[in-house]
Structure 1
Amino acid sequence: MTNQLDAVHLEINDSIAVVTLDHQPLNVLNATVLEQLDQAIDALQETEVRAVVLRSASAKAFAAGADISQFPELTKMGGIELLEKGKRIFDKLTEGKAPVICAVHGLALGAGLELALACDIRIADHSAKFGLPETGLGILPGYGGTQRLSRLVGPGKAKELVLSGVWLNGQEAYEAKLVERLVPEGQAFETAYALAEQIAGKGPLAVAFAKEAIDEGLDLPLSEAQFLETRMFAKLVGTEDMDEGVQAFIEKRKPNFTGK
């Protein structure tokens, strides 16, 4: 299945979806790109994909930020509407059942970095550069950047990056735990797709519930998060996927999960 949009392409091969940003040359996240990304995410929700890879077709950037040309005419109410639209789209990406793996090369700045932060797993190559330069424009990251970044790298590192606007290269981002894997230049997508294949081979219900338990548990006290984990485990007991997974293990064969 392939769906071609002007700036965002969606391709589905078996149980893996690839979403490609293709607004040349830098994938600036203007209104058109965000709308098409929103459409692609909606299309994904109508499928049974088990993993998603988000990548860029640009040679220079994953995504170089928001469309700054719209800012001079922005009103307070317009600013709120702009941010809420972006947050809704990014949240929808985050909350999908299928995990999203982001393959980053080149620039991932401002809203582009915030889009990467909305993914479940980030893989970057050595050409990647990450930054939130908004304070240099007299504003702050508004697509979830201050919140998702602090949860990922800790409040101190988040403040260092947001308040100063400093950029990190791929190695620095990996050391700061901003990305989960650092790979040689040109290998981010290949590595992300291989990981997606690994995930797609696991029980889809188990993957979805585990992702939900991790995401929701972060905002709960440990005791409540532990109970959430127990409830998620209980939902899997007796499913066809559990029976298949256990039987395949006993028979030393590859399981055939159906998501039931």
Structure 2
Amino acid sequence: MAECVELIYDGGIAEIWLNRPKVLNALSRQLMDELNEAVADVTRSNARALILAGCGERAFCAGADIKEFRPIATTVDARAHHYRRDVCSAIQSLSMPTIAAVHGYTFGGGMALALPCDMRIASDDALFALPETALGTFPGMGVTVRLPQLIGRSEAMRLIFTGERIDAAEALRMGLVTSVVPRQALIDEARRWALRISENAPLGIAYARESIARGERMPLAEALKVETDLNMFMDTTDDYAEAARAFVEKRKPRFMGA
């Protein structure tokens, strides 16, 4: 039974909760292992959206567990150590939309977990920081790749180089989060978004995500061709036909993901 991560399914929505509130949901090896297992479970499920959140009042995740800091003998050992712990690529590779609901301290590895999510909702008490350069290292888990893509090179360097703490309003200004809501409304807002998304065509969403992801890595002409090819494929699906029938019959479509 998982001790550090809670996985909940509610209809078509999956929720993963980091559950070490006494230590601000710090990322221990056990938590990371359980998080990997939870994401793998979601991958095998029929969920249409995923919410990632943190238990407790004070933090989404305050970063790595300082108690487990130790020197690592070789570069090879270090690579194995970090690749085993890095679940961010698995989150980003999910076929369903992902929403990070962050509150309180969202530092270091906490920010790293939120970045691969498609959307980030912050409570008005959220604080963000990347303190790694003050701890003898620099952010990993994809931060130096994903953060510049999200907020631009200059703003990313500012946060990474200085370790500065920013509040939710500043995070919204720079595009780090999609919206800011009162603390008591955070999870309800995330669930509202997830429910709205889950009512739409799952294949359409999945291929839209693929088009966006592939387009970021391609020249414009190639990206447009990928979009066109995927869009033409969607026109052959049962869900597309169902949407047309529903429009004529003046009812909500019943999408089956086929």
Deviations 1:66-88 (A, max 9, x none): 1233333323333222222233x
Give the corresponding residue for 1:78.
77
SS in 2 for 1:191: helix
Amino acid at match of 1:81: A
Deviations 1:113-155 (A, max 9, x none): 0000021110001110011110011200011111110000000
Query: Matched residues in 2 for 1:150 and 1:161: separation?
Result: 10
TM-score (normalised: structure 2): 0.96
Q: Which moved more, 1:5-14 or 1:101-110?
A: 5-14
1:19 maps onto 2:16 in alignment: yes
Give the corresponding residue for 2:155.
157
Aligned length: 256
TM-score (normalised: structure 1): 0.95
Extract unaligned runs of 5+ from structure 1.
none
Give the corresponding residue for 2:247.
249
Q: CA deviation at 1:46?
A: 1.2
Q: CA deviation at 1:40?
A: 0.4
Give the corresponding residue for 1:44.
42
Query: Matched residues in 2 for 1:193 and 1:251: separation?
Result: 29
Which of 98, 103, 111 lines up with 1:113 in the alignment? 111
- Alpha carbons 1:105, 1:186 under 8 Å: kept: no
Query: Matched residues in 1 for 2:81 and 2:133: separation?
Result: 18
Amino acid at match of 1:78: D
- Alpha carbons 2:62, 2:107 under 8 Å: kept: yes
Deviations 1:176-207 (A, max 9, x none): 10001111122221111100001000001001
Deviations 1:39-89 (A, max 9, x none): 1011111111100111111211001101233333323333222222233x2
SS in 2 for 1:73: coil
Mapping for residues 92-241 of structure 1, pairs under 5 Å: 92-241=90-239
- Alpha carbons 1:130, 1:168 under 8 Å: kept: yes
SS in 1 for 2:45: coil
- Alpha carbons 1:7, 1:36 under 8 Å: kept: yes
Query: Matched residues in 1 for 2:20 and 2:234: separation?
Result: 41
Q: CA deviation at 1:255?
A: 0.7
Deviations 1:212-242 (A, max 9, x none): 1111211111111111111111221121100
Q: CA deviation at 1:210?
A: 0.5
SS in 2 for 1:241: helix
Q: CA deviation at 1:105?
A: 0.6
- Alpha carbons 2:33, 2:85 under 8 Å: kept: no
Q: Percent identity?
A: 35
Give me the CA root mean square deviation: 1.2
- Alpha carbons 2:29, 2:85 under 8 Å: kept: no
Amino acid at match of 1:151: Q
- Alpha carbons 1:110, 1:134 under 8 Å: kept: yes
SS in 1 for 2:69: helix
Q: CA deviation at 1:20?
A: 0.8
Extract unaligned runs of 5+ from structure 2.
none
Amino acid at match of 1:86: R
Query: Matched residues in 1 for 2:126 and 2:49: separation?
Result: 23
SS in 1 for 2:218: coil
Deviations 1:81-116 (A, max 9, x none): 2222233x2101110101110101101100010000
